[in-house]
Amino acid sequence: MPKIWQKDYDLNAEIEAYTVGEDHVLDMDLVEADCLGSAAHALTLARAKVLKKAEADRLRRELARVVRDWRKGKFRIKRSEEDVHTAVENRLTKKLGVLGKKIHTGRSRNDQVIVDLRLWGKAALLELVSACCEAAGALLKLAARGKDWPLVGRTHMQRAMPSSVGLWAGAFAESLLDDVDLVRGAYDLIDRSPLGSAASYGVPVPLDRAYTARLLGFASAQNNVLYANNSRGKFEAVCLSAAAQVMLDLSKLAQDLILWSMPEFGYFQLPRELCSGSSIMPQKKNPCGLELVRAKTATVYSQLFAVLEIARGLPSGYNRDNQETKGFFMRGLGTATASARVAALSVSKLKVNVKALKAAFHPEVFATDEALDMVLAGVPFRDAYKQVGLNLEKLADRDPVAAIRRKKSVGGTANLNLGFAKRKLAAAGRFAAAAKRRTAAMRGKLLGR
């Protein structure tokens, strides 16, 4: 089948392989999005009197068949077709003849790929929200169980002050829920339809871009048609930036879990089914999932900076450089989601050794508490600080559970205020569920059930 830009010459084979790259592979994940965009565009063309309503409906029915075939593994994108847009249009032309040749009226592959990536990206961000909620939910359950499980708090990796498993787990839960706010912000940013912007400058066809946006479930159309194309790369970077914050927290969480599950600490134990073995050492149970969460954080960072570097030097309007951002965008969001699910699984199955937690406490951990008790008895803090610091060997051991129960200020070990995070978790869950329902309804209206 010919390319949709084909004229009176064939592209050099080496250039073709180089320019197609991996689009024909990546685009297999964009088939449904492309068919949805084409279905909405067909209805918009009918509203503009370019197509008859019956023609638009015929196109939509065939697009629905494409999606069904894709789900069954019967629809493939050939390298010679370059991308999903060509493959779908070729299918429409093969099945519907002249009608298939009309579908591209008023649009460019530029606004097609942007709408595909935004529809895919919206769904991917919702999955990332759900995965973060799974991890945060597991951490909040651990925080509730571990509110009276003492844990040596550390600064500079040295013993610092009494803490608790509840405080530690609650900290990561709240941080991930803040990350969800960033992901939702990215979702709001990309929730705008570019269709009708064409090759950056609009078209002299009376396309109702707001109508197209509503059909596709977008909050609005992206107003300025040049900005619609200029925002490619920019919007992907915003999404990856939110994903990078998720990965930052997951990496720190993974590091703590790896460190504290070492036999020398023994605070935590990961179940065998979450650990890989060694090819030579029979005894080994390696936390490979968590190690890869730590490593893949760097991968997502590199994907973010690759997109930023590609986008930063481009002139206005579409440039083929943008093709390179697609893989980074899609893989980055997928990696963050998979990593959050690994973290959720690890936390939910974590075994806690309370005996080892208590055994890690030494009198020096209570030095600050001792100084503050002196302050409450009337000694100036600097004098108390000096006196305790010069007599650390005289510190008496204390009950770590009693120590963590004394910190009653909001957010402290005796007042974790988990309801705050639970409310944020519930709100995030409602947001994701409602958005997924709207997306399912949109799909049903455009392509049928």
Amino acid at 396: A
DSSP E strands, 302-432: 351-352
Phi, psi angles (nearest 5°) of residue 65: -65, -35
Amino acid at 16: E
- Collect contacts of 257-262 with beta carbons under 8 A, ≥24 apart: 257/287, 257/290, 257/346, 257/347, 257/350, 258/287, 258/290, 258/291, 258/294, 261/287
H-type alpha helices, 72-108: 84-96, 98-101
Give the three-class secondary structure for 157.
coil
Concatenating the DSSP letter of every residue in 255-322 gives HHHHHHTSTTT-SEE--GGG-B--SS-TT--B-HHHHHHHHHHHHHHHHHHHHHHHHHTPPSS--GGG
Q: Is 278 a catalytic residue?
A: yes
Q: How many angstroms separate the CA atoms of 262 and 398, rounded?
A: 26
How open is the CA angle 58-60-61, to the nearest 5 degrees? Answer: 65
Q: How many angstroms separate the CA atoms of 235 and 311, rounded?
A: 10
Given the residues 278, 302, 316, 362, select the one marked as catalytic.
278
As a dihedral over the C-alpha atoms of residue 309, residue 228, residue 124, residue 178, rounded to 10 degrees, the angle is 70
Do the Cβ atoms of 400 and 358 come closer than 8 Å?
A: yes
Burial class (CB in 10 A: 0-12, 13-18, 19+), 245: buried
| Other beta carbons within 10 Å of 183 | 27
In Å, the largest CA–CA distance within the chain is 93
Q: How many angstroms separate the CA atoms of 113 and 213, rounded?
A: 15
Q: Is 80 a catalytic residue?
A: no
Task: Specify the residue for token string 């945060």.
Answer: 136
Tokens of 436: 């997924």
Catalytic residue positions? 156, 278
